[in-house]
Amino acid sequence: MITPIIREYFKGLKEQNELDVVIPDLLTSMGLEVVRRPVSGNRQYGADVIAVGNDADGERKLFVFSIKRGDLTRQEWAGADQALRQSLDEIKDVILNNRAPEHQGLKVVICITLGGIVPEAMEPLVNGYMLSNRTDALDYQVWTGDTLTRKILDGALREELFSGELRSLLRKAAATADDPERSIAHFERLVAKVAQGEADPVAKVRILYLTLWILFVWGRDAGNLEAPYRASEIVTLRAWDLLYRQIEGDRGRRLDASYSFHQLVSLHLQIWDELYGKKVLPHAGKLHVLSFAVGSVDGLDINLSMFETAGRVAMGGLWQLWMEPGEGAAPQTSDLPNWPARRIAEALGRMPFANPTLLTPFADHHSTDLALALLLLCSVRDTRDAARRWVREAAQRIMIAYRHHGRYPADDGSYGFLLRHPESATDEYRQAAMAASVTMPLLATVAYILDDGDTIAAIGEFQQAEASKCSFQAWVPNSRTEDKIWQGDSWQGSSITGLKVGTDGSELIAAQRAEAQANPDYPALSAIRLEHWPVLLLACRRLRLPVPPQLWIKLMDEMRPPEPAKGNVEAAGDFSGDGKTT
């Protein structure tokens, strides 16, 4: 049964920014109109949420919710700061005497709302208070975790919207939250089935939002947030696919769709903060601490895990940049105070020098995580020097590894291949293992943006003298991308092949600029057209697609004047899912 799963979920929710965030969405799914939501920093006078709608008796009423987490204790009832009894008194004294004119004639129901239960020892106190204060115009209700569970199952997760099969998948995903691979397999099936259903897109996203919350709380209780984090990426992308048409539609639908998507992104970032903001960033600059935390002595495991971590940390910072005022169709350089993004960028800038494995990507698909990290560091003015050092060190180490048959970035990023790489110290093996590269032109591009001429010249000489048979490449969206990328399909897009770095990088930049100007599919992408560019970056990270050069061109134009166009694009071939053609 799914009921215990949901009941424990409500019991595990914290009061602030969790239970008080979920309640309004639950009320909306029940058909009530939420007229007041929690606002950080504002005095609530006991009323966390206010809604208007029909009660079970059919009468239209004003519902005022005072919310507390977990089971009600004697301390929380009357002994603590902002105790429940004090909140109920404030609602009577302040809220009820300052109602909007359109609510003056409505009967008021004050809802004592708990994530847990009212223990038997507390029932006389609660019941006595309600009996003493009931009037013809004022009533009380107690909503416990059981009440909330029943209302979810009768509302957002009712049978016609959330079938028995979906309930089973949610139960399995939550119950196996401590086993991320099993949990995410169940959750991915759930997301696909909800997305394919017949409900309104906003209703589908509300269902996905609630199921993600449930998985998050169970993962947190199990001490493993890997499955909730991966699930939040999946849900964010599918939600965008469901909502973007409404976000650019008429005003009424646009507001509902935009709010639903913003709520989902906020939950994604809340999960990110629990996993990375609280557990990773405080240790980012401590020598080898994050590498040791991988829990393996194998260099490959550490390398793979650290690049995954760097990419996820960077995505958190890029989302924060987007959410600051003045966001646009590409990352904005940040001179304004942006403490969340700046703090993330500063921590990220310390990571490769405290964990040197980040200076040597073993797989070419690590170029995606590396690009996201460098994009954040370049977008925040104070961390550009860290980006410059990272690029210089990575380029030097890759070229040394290639020359001496070490672990240079291989095209085949499968774990089995990387375990054996390099299998041979021959030119033939080396040319086959790195027949194409997204990493090297990425490093050259960022070096150009940061005016590091020595690194550009070194990469250009390396390409001409030692890696002339390696095709330097980039990836761009094509006409198939919009219909596939948000649903997790990597078989779309096109590759730009035959990029030449040259002696100063100008040829490389000119080729990418020419592609950016000639490609109509990038600006037509919904995430770019509607100025939600982190959605595209999130899709690239999850699917291991290279970050399109258009984003670098935009950032470069803010930092450096455009160079005259010089074409050297050899071909633009169909993308086959691995980031390159040869």
C-alpha to C-alpha distances, 185 to 179, 188, 360, 541, nearest whole angstrom: 10, 5, 31, 19
Query: Would 361 be classed as within a structural domain?
Result: yes
What percent of the chain stands above pLDDT 70?
Answer: 92
Q: Do 349 and 463 belong together in one domain?
A: yes
Binning pLDDT at 50, 70 and 90, where does residue 281 land?
very high
Residue 582 lies in a domain: no
- The answer to whether residue 322 is domain-embedded is yes
* pLDDT of 440 over the 70 cut: yes
Share of the chain above pLDDT 90, in %: 80
110 and 170 share a domain?
no
**Whether residues 191 and 328 fall in one domain:** no
Q: Tell me the pLDDT tens digit for each residue of 151-170.
A: 999 888 888 789 999 999 99
pLDDT of residue 249: 83
Tell me, yes or no, whether 172 and 151 share the same domain.
no
Domain's final residue, options 130, 155, 180: 155
d(CA 181, CA 184): 5
Alpha helices in 223-250 (DSSP H): 226-247
Asked if 184 and 255 sit in the same domain, the reply is yes
pLDDT of the residue at 576: 35
Residues 387 and 533 in one domain: yes
| pLDDT band, residue 560 (cuts 50/70/90) | low
Contact 436, 411 (CB under 8 A): yes
Is-cis flag, bond preceding 409, omega within 30? no
pLDDT in tens, 227-269: 999 999 999 999 999 999 999 987 767 888 999 999 999 999 9
The model's pTM: 0.90
Average pLDDT over residues 181-192: 97
Q: Is residue 83 part of a domain?
A: yes
| Same domain assignment for residues 61 and 49 | yes
Q: In which band, very low, low, confident or very high, does the pLDDT at 198 lie, cut at 50, 70 and 90?
A: confident
pLDDT of residue 338: 39
User: Which sign, positive or negative, has the C-alpha torsion 541, 546, 551, 557?
Assistant: positive
Mean pLDDT of the region 53-78: 94
One-letter amino acid of 270? Q
Task: Give the per-residue pLDDT at 43.
Answer: 64
- Measured CA to CA, the distance from residue 194 to residue 188 in angstroms comes to 10
Q: List the domain range (segments joined by +) for residue 126.
A: 1-155
Torsion (CA) 520, 521, 526, 530 in degrees, nearest 10: -30
- Residues 71-92, mean pLDDT to the nearest whole number: 91
Mean pLDDT of 74-92: 90
pLDDT of residue 229: 98
**Confidence band of 492 (pLDDT split at 50, 70, 90):** very high
Q: How confident is the model at residue 337 (pLDDT cuts 50, 70, 90)?
A: very low
pLDDT of residue 334: 47
- What does the pLDDT read at residue 94? 87
Q: Is residue 580 part of a domain?
A: no
Based on the fold, state whether residues 268 and 286 are members of the same structural domain: no
- Asked if pLDDT for residue 438 goes beyond 80, the answer is yes
pLDDT at 567 over 70: no
Give every CB contact of residue 529 below 8 A, 6+ residues apart in sequence. 248, 523
Instruction: Answer whether residue 437 shows pLDDT above 90.
Output: yes
pLDDT at 559: 82
What's the mean pLDDT in 86-91?
Answer: 93
Is the per-residue pLDDT at 32 higher than 90? yes
Same domain? 267 vs 350 = no
Instruction: Determine the pLDDT at residue 81.
Output: 77
pLDDT at 331 over 90: no
How far from chain centre, in Å, is Cα 290?
Answer: 21
pLDDT 10s digits, 122-154: 999 999 999 999 999 999 999 999 999 999 998
Instruction: Spell 420-458 as b/e; 16+ CB within 10 A means b.
Output: ebbeeeeeeebeebbbbbbbbbbbbbbbbbbebeebbbb
Exposure string of 36-55, with b = 16+ CB inside 10 Å and e = fewer, is bebeeeeebbbbbbbbbeee
pLDDT at 275 over 90: yes
Of 166-180, 242-256, 416-430, 525-539, which gets the smallest average pLDDT? 242-256
Asked, for residue 581, whether it belongs to a domain, the answer is no
Whether residues 298 and 265 fall in one domain: no
Boundary of a domain, candidates 255, 279, 303: 279
Residues 550, 531 within the same domain: yes
Q: Could you tell me which residues come within 8 angstroms of residue 105 by beta carbon, excluding any fewer than 6 positions away?
A: none
User: Does the residue 579 lie in any domain?
Assistant: no
Our CA angle for 527, 541, 451, nearest 5°, is 90
Indicate left, alpha or beta for 142 from its phi (over 0: left) and psi (-120 to 50: alpha).
beta
CATH number at residue 15: 3.40.91.30
Cα separation of 458 and 396, whole Å? 8
Are residue 311 and residue 234 in the same domain, yes or no? Answer: no
CB contact set of 549 (below 8 Å; sequence gap of 6+): 445, 474, 476, 496, 512, 515, 516
Q: How many domains does the chain have?
A: 3
> Which of 155, 185, 202 is the endpoint of a domain?
155
Residues contacting 150, CB < 8 A, separation 6+: none
Q: How confident is the model at residue 496 (pLDDT cuts 50, 70, 90)?
A: very high
In a domain, 447, yes or no: yes
Quick one: average pLDDT of 7-12?
92
Q: How confident is the model at residue 37 (pLDDT cuts 50, 70, 90)?
A: confident
